[in-house]
Chains A and B, each alone.
Chain A
Amino acid sequence: MPVPRHRLIATALAPLAALGLLVAGCGGGSSTAASGAGGKITAVGAENEYANVIEQIGGKYVEVSAIESDPNTDPHTFEASPSVAQSVGAAAVLVENGLGYDSYMEKIASASPSSSRKVINVQKLLGLPGSTSNPHLWYKPETMPAVARQLVADFSELQPAHKAYFEANLKKFEAALEPWVKGLEEFSTKHPGAAVATVEPVADYLLEAAGIKNLTPVSMQVSIMNGTDPAPQAIALEEALFTEKKAAAFVYNQQVTGPITEKFLATAKENGVPVVGVYETMPPGYTYQRWMEAELKALEEAVAHGKSTESL
């Protein structure tokens, strides 16, 4: 059966037209979201611990999503997908860690520029130099209060009518953080000179804040974090921390593993050194504050009672 010519053209053009609508739809969506007026402010936290703080401050006026929240993956080697690019491009407020930890954020944000988008780069917020070797800033006690205060300022600018609400949330946030900060102080007075072994610098700021000495050489931690092989000398030093029982606990990053870290884990267990699991992203079922408290409690259990808390 012969098909009329104009129908052929129409059939050929239909998908194109649909595509055009789709593109228009995307553009429209992002522009309303970025304006943030009226409805909810869309915000993105590169890691889910930042998203959690955004949620606690923004509450009912903010729609938040996190890019990295899978506790089984390694954020250091994360590669962004198109859907990530879309949600970042559409956000009015972005929180990124900085220090190269989530450099894809900057790339995506610059690919869809917006003068009204507010970007909180935690490294810059804390005034840390780019040469800072440990990027795991959320384990620093002063980090999240600073992020929370900046969020209040940014949200209040986008929705001035709800300034008091955001400020009240900040009070709640700070109060909920108090037990952890107090706990860190108590730990350092109760266990002066406690020393542990690590594999990777993820929780080093937490250890520092609790007055715990990290016996693992820095070169080893950097090798493991960056995925290069540690030198045999460094491996021997680390093994000796367990076999000679110099370490009161083994602080183990559950998200950056490999044959070498698993070997250390086995040696630690053979020698009865308690294991404390730490994470790059917030494990499921926690708020930021409860997570930090749980990590500190796990350290306490290990150092005081020799008890392992391999995973939260």
Chain B
Amino acid sequence: MSAGLFVFAPGFFDNEAVHVALAVGTAVAIVTAVVGVFTVMRGQSFAGESLGDIGTTGGAAASLLGVGPLAGFVAIDVLAAAAMELVGVQRVRGRDLATGVVLGAAIGLAALFLYLDTTQGSGNGSTVTILFGSIFAISSATIPAVVALAALSVALIAILYRPLLLATVSPEIAAARGIPVRLVGALYLLTLALATALAAITIGTILSTALLIGPAAAALRLTTRPLRAMLVATAIGIAAVWVGVVLAYDSYHWPPQEHGWPVSFFVVALIFLGYLASGLVKWRQEREA
């Protein structure tokens, strides 16, 4: 194996860190795909990006308190989603302003917490880990929490599916039919918060939006039917995470030797390639039609 010619570098299938990464990555890819399709359809990408960034505050606070980052991400994202809802995220006009205001305030807190982390705590490198993720450093004890939160989000979307779809496509008709549009929107925002928190532990707070928006945007280029888009997005997300984990594992044998490249880089690059490929497929479909 001197030339590094292999698909799976030695020890891939026995490595505990790889097992955990694959389990967590799969669960997260499913949730982000399902939630992400609605995020793209509702035009709430900025809210998703913001919730991801805001996760930094929660991760830094968690590191300061000595608890795991997932708890911090979930707590802060749910809080921030509630704040956005209160400040007025339900209106299309002014929605980005409300999101931006909450984002600014939260990132200010993140600056304080990260400063305190580096000056007061022993959490070395927490900044890099929070921002760019650390899927190989996740403890296997976190898997049940990840799976439970993922199941909760998908279940919420399943329950909300019909009213949420109508409220997304045409809020006026939804309201006329007696659907509580604002409540549905708020519950959706909760699932978005959970999905972003889960994406953050996988590829970091800054990159979480890539997993949320990328596969969903690619899928919606290929099909306009939401359920089918969710399936396609799930397939793209899972493929990106799995191939990303394999490549990151193999990169241990690439220069610089014995360090390995960050998983987040591979996952995000693969999602981007997936998005480009979907454009190509769509272009060919349109030409044939």
Give the contact-size bracket for chain A. Answer: 35 or more
Which of A130-138, A234-242, A284-292 sits within the interface? A234-242
Residue of B16, B129, B260 touching A258 (CB-CB under 8 A): B129
Q: Which residue of A lies closest to B136 (CB)?
A: A232
A225 to B11, CA, bound (A): 25
Interface residues of A in 72-104 (CB under 8 A from B): 72-74, 76-79, 81
A263 to B11, CA, bound (A): 20
B119 within 8 A of A: yes
User: Taking A73-B122, A259-B68 as contacts, is the C-beta distance between A232 and B115 under 8 angstroms?
Assistant: no
Q: Which residue of A lies closest to B127 (CB)?
A: A227
> In the complex the two chains form, is B120's CB within 8 Å of A258's CB?
no
> In the complex the two chains form, is B9's CB within 8 Å of A233's CB?
yes
The smallest C-beta distance from A103 to any residue of chain B, in angstroms, reads: 14
Contacts of A230 in B (CB 8 A): 136-137, 260
A254 to B123, CA, bound (A): 11
User: Taking A231-B136, A233-B252 as contacts, is the C-beta distance between A258 and B258 under 8 angstroms?
Assistant: no
> In the complex the two chains form, is B118's CB within 8 Å of A77's CB?
yes
Q: Which residue of B lies closest to A80 (CB)?
A: B119
Contact pattern, A 28-47, Cβ under 8 Å of B = 1, otherwise 0? 00000000000000000000
The smallest C-beta distance from A78 to any residue of chain B, in angstroms, reads: 7
B249 within 8 A of A: yes
The smallest C-beta distance from A227 to any residue of chain B, in angstroms, reads: 2
Q: Which residue of B lies closest to A222 (CB)?
A: B259
A230 to B118, CA, bound (A): 20
User: Taking A228-B128, A233-B260, A263-B139 as contacts, is the C-beta distance between A239 and B122 under 8 angstroms?
Assistant: no
The smallest C-beta distance from B139 to any residue of chain A, in angstroms, reads: 6
The smallest C-beta distance from B156 to any residue of chain A, in angstroms, reads: 29
> In the complex the two chains form, is A235's CB within 8 Å of B136's CB?
yes
Residue of B14, B121, B252 touching A231 (CB-CB under 8 A): B252
> In the complex the two chains form, is A79's CB within 8 Å of B126's CB?
no
Q: Which residue of A lies closest to B135 (CB)?
A: A229
Best-buried of A70, A74, A255 by chain B (most CB within 10 Å)? A74
> In the complex the two chains form, is A255's CB within 8 Å of B122's CB?
yes
> In the complex the two chains form, is B123's CB within 8 Å of A74's CB?
yes
User: Taking A219-B258, A236-B11 as contacts, is the C-beta distance between A229 and B136 under 8 angstroms?
Assistant: yes
User: Taking A72-B122, A232-B18 as contacts, is the C-beta distance between A259 and B137 under 8 angstroms?
Assistant: yes
The smallest C-beta distance from A282 to any residue of chain B, in angstroms, reads: 16
> In the complex the two chains form, is B119's CB within 8 Å of A79's CB?
yes
> In the complex the two chains form, is A78's CB within 8 Å of B118's CB?
yes
> In the complex the two chains form, is B18's CB within 8 Å of A258's CB?
no
The smallest C-beta distance from B1 to any residue of chain A, in angstroms, reads: 13
> In the complex the two chains form, is B123's CB within 8 Å of A229's CB?
no
A191 to B45, CA, bound (A): 62
> In the complex the two chains form, is A231's CB within 8 Å of B124's CB?
no
Contacts of B137 in A (CB 8 A): 229-230, 258-260
> In the complex the two chains form, is A227's CB within 8 Å of B128's CB?
yes
CB-based closest 3 A-B pairs? A227-B125, A231-B260, A232-B17
B residues contacting A by CB (< 8 A) are 9, 11, 14-18, 21, 68, 115, 118-129, 134, 136-139, 248-249, 251-252, 257-260, 262
